[in-house]
Amino acid sequence: MAGADFTVEKYRRRQRMWDAVESRYVVHLVLFAAVFFTISPLVWQLITSFKTSQGVLALTYLPLDPTIAAYERALIDRGFWRAVVNSVIIASVSTAIVMVLGTPAGYVFSRFRFPFDNAVFVFVLFTRLFPPIGLVTPYYRIMTTFGLLNTKTGIVIANVYLWLPLVIYIMRNFFITIPQSLDEAARVDGCTKIQAFWHVVFPVVLPGFAAGTILTFLYSWREFLFAFTVSTDLTSMTIPVATFLFVGDAGIDWAAMAAASIVSVIPSALVVVFFQRYIVVGMTGGMKG
């Protein structure tokens, strides 16, 4: 009996421990810690962006004399607004090309069988597995050969190479979830293969198309390595590269750099806020298959 009582008491202690771990207080504490570590750098950047150059060095959390001078120095004096325009153009064009090429490619890999089709699909994904840093040298030589240094076209080509395999993978997995009987019914009604794709199947996978579009835009927006490799002036420089250049040889304009960082975050934050449902779809539904 003593052994049974000891076992019951041990079970009760373990149960009380798990009840405490799973209590709403612990859950709230974990969520608070996750949110704090996520947004605290952004809050710090936002506060710093309203300080003066001297105020940044003061040991205070809040700006003593709030000012938007850092935004004026970043956007106007240093021409950061041109980097914003470049990023919008490059991310938009890259996204359009990737979706135009990736959507039909995903459809073909999901519907048609041809020699070595699986091997070709694996090879497409394999090209994305190379560490980007290992491709910088050949990429730079190619851009130099074709005279694409300091051009938006050179950065768009890099973005298409980086994100096209991902979109093919996502769209293929979305198309797989659509029954092939839908295509066959359209063909019976007189549609060609292209008409069946465009008028019948494609409207069904519009959520996946939206997810791929948003993810490609966000990834292109923040791409740094290849843009840094070929951009040396503001004719093609993107936001991440222009922000990095606030680090000078003689010192760092912390307030202007913080202002530039806040400006760079705003478009992607708006995309995430208004289209988060499609992002979740792309990161869940697109990964099935």
| CA distances from residue 96 to 19, 89, 213 in whole angstroms, order as listed | 51, 11, 8
The domains located in the chain, with CATH, are: 4-69 (no CATH), 79-245 (1.10.3720.10)
What pLDDT was estimated at residue 10? 79
Residue-by-residue pLDDT tens, the chain, 289 positions = 556 666 777 788 888 888 877 788 888 899 999 999 989 999 998 999 998 888 888 777 888 888 899 899 888 888 888 999 999 999 999 999 999 999 999 999 998 888 888 889 888 888 877 788 888 899 999 999 999 888 999 999 999 999 999 999 989 988 998 888 888 888 888 888 888 888 888 888 888 888 889 889 989 998 999 999 888 888 888 999 988 888 876 678 888 889 999 998 888 888 888 887 777 766 665 555 4
230 is written with which tokens? 């070929």
pTM of the model: 0.81
Separation of alpha carbons 67 and 110, rounded Å: 55
Phi-psi region of 79 (alpha: psi -120 to 50; beta: other; left: phi over 0): left
In b/e form, how buried is each residue of 146-176, taking b as 16+ CB within 10 angstroms? eebebbbebbbbbbbbbbbbbbbbbbbbbbe
